[in-house]
Structure 1
Amino acid sequence: MLPERQSTSVPVLTDPLEIGGVTLPNRLYRAPLLEHAGNGPEAVDTLIDELEPAGAAGAGLVCQGATIVRGEGGCAAPGMTRVHDPEFVADLERLTDAIHEHDGRIAIQLEHGGLRSMETWHHGFRERNPDLRQLAVSRPPRPLRLLDRLGFLDYDSHVLTTAECRELAADFGRSAAAAVDAGYDLIHLAGANMGILHQFASPFYNRRDDEFGDTARFFEAVLAEIRDRAGDVPVLTKVPAETEAPPGIGPTLSAEDCVRLCERLADAGYDAFAPVNGSAFWDMSVIRGAFPGRSWRDERFREGYVDAFGSRPRAALVAAANWVESLVYSREPAWNADLCRRVRERVDVPVLCEGGIRDGGTIDGLLGDAADAVGMARPFYAEPELPARLLREGAAADGVAAVCEDCNNCVVPQATGEPGVCRTPMVLRRAGELRRAGAYERDDRD
């Protein structure tokens, strides 16, 4: 029997939303992004600079991007922040206080890259850390082993034992507990985009014969550790469907597999889901949009690309593959909407939708149908205070939309450790015009 929702009225963006006992002041959230803040002496200040503008502009929820639960390995990109050290996490209270001063709520996204980590794909990092091995759910699948033999990737993986799976789940719990002590309102798990949680859920990666061969078991173990160590903090997670995997790759997670996984995780006690379509690989199915030719041609990043990919010819091959993927994974507005709708029909906890959402009209169409809340990510690189425009009365009717053009020039330099910022002059010019016109000034303050 399908669950019945408590309200049949259609929500609007400015309505509050309760997730696991925490009330968000509205239904617009800044989705997780790579902040490249690291763990140095300026890390917390960098995170405040990156995240506070969204809170000040009225976002109901601000999500700090993927942070790593262990002290070494597991980073999918250079400069990711680690939260294994309680002393460092305690200083993040300055960040949570900054968001709370604006009556916003903040989530921290916990992550470990597993086979997606830099020790797999980043040539320079691998050379500088020769003893660092990837954590693997099972032996890497045959297509990845082939890429290893061809020299595009470098695998020296360590397959987790049953006890090590439990210890990794405990690391998620310990990091969550420290985050709650630092004032975070929600815990967000990076359950998709080929991180370790995704790998446990995927039959393409998970061929175990112990309890963790069950696709939901690691998610359940992580939740149990968080509940044991951090109490009743709301926990939300991305949940993957591998609907965009290349032909002939399998077995993979279908959309229905994703829906069933969400049903089971709801029964286990998860408080919200962000279902996402993607591939079994780390590719442009995650972001979609145009080929970022400007960033690939920019001389400022050339040496960084060589360090990341091993040589100029290899960097050129990666760029060529990026171009092909841009043709395959063209941008579609709200590309996760159908999947979110299917999940929302089968669970009785909030469903969050993100991916290709750029305007108020699309948002209005999603709320109460495919989603209970909507998120944006890359548009915040160009417009850190974007919520001030979208939350204004009549925004949808007035055609308010993010200035982001999905050109992806913000993304590729992140492989070199560059921060995520908009680098497209036309987009920046438009954001500047809006700023001078007062578009980012909130009109709901006393």
Structure 2
Amino acid sequence: MPVARLTDPLAIGGVTVPNRLYRAPLLEHAGDGPDAVDTLIGDLEPAAAAGAGLVCQGATVVRGEGGCAAPGMTRVHDPEFVAELSRLTDAIHAHGGRIAIQLEHGGLRSMETWHHGHRARNPGLRQLAVSEPPRLLRFLDRLGFLEYEAHVLTTEECYDLAADFGRSAAAAVDAGYDLIHVAGANMGIVHQFASPFYNRRDDEFGDPARFFEAIRDEIRDRAGDVPVLTKVPAETEAPPGVGPTLSTDDCVRLCRRLEAVGYDALVPVNGSVFWDMSIVRGAFPGDSWRDERFRAGYVDAFGSLPRAVAVAAANWAESLVYSRESAWNANLCRRVRERVDVPVLCEGGIRDRPTTERLLGDGGADAAADAVGMARPFYAEPALPARLLHESNARVVCEDCNNCVVPQAAGEAGVCRTPAVLRRAGKLRKAGAYDPDRGRDGADPDRGRDTGDHDAGDHETGDD
């Protein structure tokens, strides 16, 4: 079997992605306002211009009210707004890339649950729920950390919600998107349908694959044969004693079911039953928690300064449990890939070119994935593919400090805020490392290579 390399094309359904490196979904904080499309172009086009084969727009909400898991999420329920996104898809296609849009609804993870200010400003909103919130979450409600006034979906309403995914997908295809990405993990409502921790239904949607299937049917009926991929959860990182949960075997079985109902690619991920550090891992983002610029936003989000401090303390404890490890979904992806015939995409803690090559393996049984994705490193290096595709030993400058993540709860954009990291990126930029044309026309891709792996004091300021 021929060797699968990062620069090889990959077929997903009827779409050929020009290489196997993709920008995984991130929270863009573009919203829906008059500048939303320009913001998305500014965030996403650099990855395509630098050579990413696939660019995944971050989670977008399929309904006009409720369902946002974080401030600044874009809604795609309005076909007129989605039509304007053709400027974004045109920009990606002009560089030869492909673009996917990730469709989402937060369900019990929505801001209606955890964001005090949002709840006060929108008192009529209720969370959509697969079943009554689990007992542990109701206990947190009584303690005042969360607030639930959940509406449990009827069978008919489950079909209606699936239809909203289909309608949004159809509008996206009309706007030029190449693939549809269903947000099937990270505790959104699709994940909640799959999880025995959340789903205790006694109708057809008690089957963990049924809502995935209903979404796939709606997309097929409304958007035609556009390729559809989805994240698939394993709840292996749930705290001890919390359950029932999705095991690795459950995830593998679910992936096989999803292949059978027509999903064209799968992204298996390990996580928890909560929105916690199991999703991002890495260091405790102390600098962001201490930054006075975000204090008012934290108070608005969590209800008071003492509550914000309590959340920060929980964040610190989680950072000790969910320690940073390279490619933490690799073994799960390998197990899934052994059992399905559609492409398996791997993301989560992948930070250098050698790791991507190991994950791709020889394209055969030893491979863990058919494509590899990165997310947070793009905050510091929007044109990161120019290095990863042309430097055999390239490593991202991201330090997994997570200082880009926590301010998002306060409504801040996802950007790198760590001076040492920005200095590394600045020096690389000045050295031409992000020029997408280097390494072509017979040039040596490693000549003059600088992977940014130096002491921060050796670098010029790059946050310009």
- Into which bin does the TM-score normalised by the smaller protein fall? over 0.9
Matches within 5 A, 1:372-411: 372-392=370-390, 395-396=391-392, 399-411=393-405
Q: Deviations over 1:376-401 (max 9, x none)?
A: 00000000000000000xx23xx210
Structure 2: runs of 5 or more not aligned: 442-464
Q: Distance in 2 between matches of 1:88 and 1:21?
A: 26
What is the CA deviation profile of residues 147-193 of structure 1, one whole-angstrom value per residue up to 9, with x for unaligned ones?
A: 00000000000000000000000000000000000000000010000
Alignment of 1:309-328 (within 5 A): 309-328=302-321
Q: Which amino acid aligns with 1:335?
A: W
Deviation, 1:444, is 5.6
The aligned counterpart of 1:90 is: 83
| Alignment of structure 1 residues 139-288 onto 2, 5 Å | 139-288=132-281
> 1:433 corresponds to which residue?
427
1:415 correspondence with 2:414: no
Equivalent residue, structure 2, for 1:338: 331
- Return the TM-score normalized by structure 1: 0.97
> Match for residue 120 of structure 2?
127
Provide the rounded CA distance (Å) in 2 between the counterparts of 1:30 and 1:36: 16
Question: How far off its partner does 1:129 sit?
Answer: 0.8
- Counterparts of 2:266 and 2:440, CA distance in 1: 31
- Number of the residue aligned with 2:40: 47
Q: TM-score, normalised by structure 2?
A: 0.93
Cα distance between partner residues in 1 of 2:280 and 2:330: 15
Residue in structure 2 matched with residue 5 of structure 1 by the alignment: none
Deviation, 1:21, is 1.0
Q: Secondary structure at the match of 1:108?
A: strand
Aligned length: 435
Q: Which amino acid aligns with 1:404?
A: C
Is 1:424–2:418 an aligned residue pair? yes
Aligned partners of 2:79, 2:395: CA distance in 1, in Å? 40
For residues 12 and 354 of structure 2, the distance between their equivalents in structure 1, rounded to whole angstroms, comes to 24
Once superposed, which parts of structure 1, at least 4 consecutive aligned residues long, lie more than 3 Å away?
Answer: none
Instruction: Give the CA RMSD over aligned residues.
Output: 0.7
What displacement does 1:9 show? 2.2
CA distance in 1, matches of 2:154, 2:397: 47
Shift of 1:309: 0.2
| Partner deviation per Cα, 1:283-321 (whole Å, 9 max, x = no partner) | 000000000000000000000000000000000000000
Letter in 2 for 1:382: A
Describe the SS at the equivalent of 1:274: strand
Aligned partner of 2:251: which letter? C
- How far apart are 1:445 and its partner, in Å? 6.0
Percentage of pairs with the same residue: 82
Give the distance between the partners of 1:280 and 1:311, measured in 2 at CA. Answer: 26
